[in-house]
Amino acid sequence: MSQTATISSAGPDEKPKSDSRVEPRGPRPKPFFTPRKIVIYSILIFACLYFLFPLYVMLTTSLKTMPEIRWGNIFAPPIEPTGEAWVKAWTSACTGLTCQGLNPGFWNSVKITVPSTIVSIFIAAVNGYALVNWRFKGSEIFFTILIFGSFIPYQVMLYPLVMITRELGIFGSLWAVILVHSIFGMPILTLLFRNYFAALPVELFKAARVDGAGFWRIFFEIMLPMSLPIFVVAIILQVTGIWNDFLFGVVFAGTQNYPMTVQLNNIVNSAQGSPEYNVNMAATILTGLVPLIIYFVSGRLFVRGIAAGAVKG
């Protein structure tokens, strides 16, 4: 049935258009189920099943009671779902003598994560920018050493960093942990930014230089706006890594600033006694919610062609 036929068979109430017939506009609408789309969605859905499978086990386990877990099948859905484990994980699970669940450490984790993320990403972005657009003698050597640094296992760096922060007088405070996270994040983040900036069109930068703009001005007015996707990636990386970090938080931040991961670790990692699997699962998901929310929200910034737009405009 062609479009014209449809329109000409319209009922008597249809107002006659000024043209005797209206031509369809735009590209021909494609049917939804093209082979291409089927393939794409199938693969994506299949991948999602793989990713979601353990989450299913975790969720169902967290909604069961311990006897059911002990004697039942791990894949079976809960007979009578109960949110007890969740409440317990947040408010009353025991982590040593204190039985307040995860929530004492929540704000400490925030206190550690927010500044560390901001500082580490800022430094790395500036480094990447400097390395690409303002190359100076020796900068490449330094960059290579930085990459090498990203492979050093963190256990090896622990004692030297303890001694360094001790000499700086900041050991046992938030500053120490921010410093340590920035140092650790620097290699990968600098690489991230450097490679991204290197792929941006040179013309923009040159045009700005010709206009007389300096280092910082170009950075804030041109480079930053063009690199939203990579900032999102960097934020995801850092927030996840720092939020879930245990060792540095507990060693460097000082007792009053113990992050939530300490409580999480104490809940799930107890050597003796029967583990309360449902509480462990609930606690893990609760801890992971913050990075998850960031992932979801940051999606809006993950858009295409900002760089392209800038070149054209």
When the beta carbons of 3 and 201 are compared against another protein, the nearer one is 201
Contact characters 228-267, another protein, x per CB under 8 A: -xx-xx--xx--x--xx--x--xxx-xx-----xx-xxxx
Which tokens go with 92? 């009353």
Contact characters 40-69, another protein, x per CB under 8 A: xx-xx--xx-xxxxxx-xx--x--------
Which tokens go with 244? 């879930």
Q: CB 137 → another protein: shortest distance, Å?
A: 7
When the beta carbons of 78 and 229 are compared against another protein, the nearer one is 229
Question: Terminal CA-to-CA distance of the chain, rounded, Å?
Answer: 43
> Chain-centre distance of CA 67, in angstroms?
36
Q: CB 283 → another protein: shortest distance, Å?
A: 8
When the beta carbons of 7 and 228 are compared against another protein, the nearer one is 228
H-type alpha helices, the chain: 3-8, 35-62, 66-71, 84-87, 106-133, 139-149, 154-168, 174-198, 202-210, 215-218, 224-226, 228-243, 247-252, 260-268, 277-298, 306-312
When the beta carbons of 6 and 169 are compared against another protein, the nearer one is 169
When the beta carbons of 20 and 71 are compared against another protein, the nearer one is 71
Under the binding rule (CB under 8 A), the answer on residue 38 touching another protein is no
* Spatial separation of the C-alpha atoms in residues 233 and 124, rounded to whole Å: 13
* Spatial separation of the C-alpha atoms in residues 191 and 196, rounded to whole Å: 8
* Spatial separation of the C-alpha atoms in residues 69 and 78, rounded to whole Å: 9
Under the binding rule (CB under 8 A), the answer on residue 95 touching another protein is yes
When the beta carbons of 10 and 163 are compared against another protein, the nearer one is 163
> Chain-centre distance of CA 177, in angstroms?
20
Q: CB 2 → another protein: shortest distance, Å?
A: 28
H-type alpha helices, 17-92: 35-62, 66-71, 84-87
Under the binding rule (CB under 8 A), the answer on residue 110 touching another protein is no
Q: Which of residues 133-192 bind another protein (CB under 8 A)?
A: 133-134, 136-137, 139-140, 142, 144-166, 171-172, 182-183, 186-188, 190-192
